[in-house]
Chains A and B, each alone.
Chain A
Amino acid sequence: MDMRPPPPATQTQGHLLIDDVVKVYDPEGAAVLAVDHCTLEIEPGEICMIVGPSGCGKTTLLNAVAGFHDITSGRILMDGEVLCSTDRPRSTPGPDRIVVFQNGALFPWKSNLENVIFGPVMQGKLGRREALDKGRAMMGDAGLSGVEHNYPGEVSSGMRRRVEIVRALMNDPKVLLLDEPYRALDSLTKSVMHEALLEIYYKNRVTIFFITHDLEEAIFLGHRVAIMTTRPCKPKKILTVDIPHPRDYSVLTSKRFRELIEETNDAVHEEALKAFQAGEKEG
Chain B
Amino acid sequence: MAATLPVVAEDDAIAVLREATPFGEASPVVLSRIAALARPARYAAGERIYTAGDAADDIFIVASGRADHVFEPEVGAREPLKRVTRGGVFGWAGLLLGQTRRLATVTAVEPTEVLRIDTEALVALLESQPQEGGQVMARFAAMIRREFAVPELLAQVRRLSGPLTEEMSSLSLTMYRLSLWLKSPRPYLMLIGFALFLGIWYLAVEVWKLPRFREMPGLTTVVKEWFSPSPTYGLSLYTEEYYKHIVVSVWRVTQAFFLATVLGVTFGLLLGWSQRFREYVFPVFEMLRPIPILAWVPLAIVMFIATESAVIYLAFLASFYATALNTMLGVQSIDESYIRAASCLGASQKQVFRHVILPGALPFIFTGLQISIGVSWFSLVAAEMVSGQYGLGYVINTSYVMVRYPTIIIGMATLGLVGYTTSALVRLAGDYLMEWRVRELALAER
Contacts and interface: CB of A to CB of B under 8 A. Distances in A.
Interface of A: 66-68, 93-95, 97-99, 101, 103, 105, 107-111, 118-119, 122-123, 143, 146-147, 149-151, 153-157, 159, 167, 171, 188
Contact of B355 (A107, A123, A143): A107
Contacts of B98: 143, 146-147, 155-156, 159
A98 to B, nearest CB: 5
B154 A108 contact: no
Contact of A66 (B158, B340, B434): B340
A262 to B, nearest CB: 29
16 contacts: A95-B344, A99-B341, A105-B338, A107-B341, A107-B359, A108-B440, A118-B347, A122-B342, A122-B346, A122-B355, A151-B439, A153-B443, A154-B156, A154-B440, A154-B443, A156-B154
Contact of B344 (A97, A147, A149, A151): A97
A101 B341 contact: yes
A153 B153 CA distance: 11
Given A149-B166, A153-B443, A98 B436 contact: no
B338 A151 contact: no
A66 to B, nearest CB: 7
Interface of B: 74, 97-98, 153-154, 156, 158-159, 161, 166, 335, 337-338, 340-348, 351, 355-356, 359-360, 362, 434-437, 439-440, 443
A154 B159 contact: yes
A122 B340 contact: no
B345 A156 contact: no
B435 to A, nearest CB: 8
B156 A107 contact: no
Q: Which are the 10 A-B pairs with shortest beta-carbon distances?
A: A119-B345, A105-B341, A123-B346, A109-B359, A153-B440, A105-B337, A95-B346, A122-B347, A151-B436, A93-B343
A170 to B, nearest CB: 9
**Central interface residue in A95, A122, A123, A167, by most chain B CB within 10 Å:** A122
A159 B159 CA distance: 15
A99 B440 contact: no
B362 A109 contact: yes
B345 A122 contact: yes
Nearest to B161: A149
A232 B153 CA distance: 38
Contacts of A110: 355, 359, 436
A111 B440 CA distance: 12
Contacts of A150: 97, 159
Residue from A101, A105, A151, A159 whose CB has the most chain B CB atoms within 10 Å: A105
Contacts of A143: 98
Contact of A109 (B74, B153, B344, B436): B436
A149 B159 contact: yes
A264 B201 CA distance: 79
Contact of A105 (B74, B335, B351, B439): B335
A107 B356 contact: yes
Contacts of B435: 151
A105 B340 CA distance: 9
Contacts of A146: 97-98, 158-159, 161
A171 B434 CA distance: 27
A84 to B, nearest CB: 15
A157 B151 CA distance: 13
B173 to A, nearest CB: 12
A109 to B, nearest CB: 4
Nearest to A167: B345
B159 A99 contact: no
Contacts of A66: 340, 344
Given A99-B344, A107-B359, A122-B347, A147 B440 contact: no
Given A118-B355, A146-B98, A151 B440 contact: yes
Contact of B346 (A153, A171, A188): A171
Given A66-B340, A109-B359, A122-B351, A147 B159 contact: yes
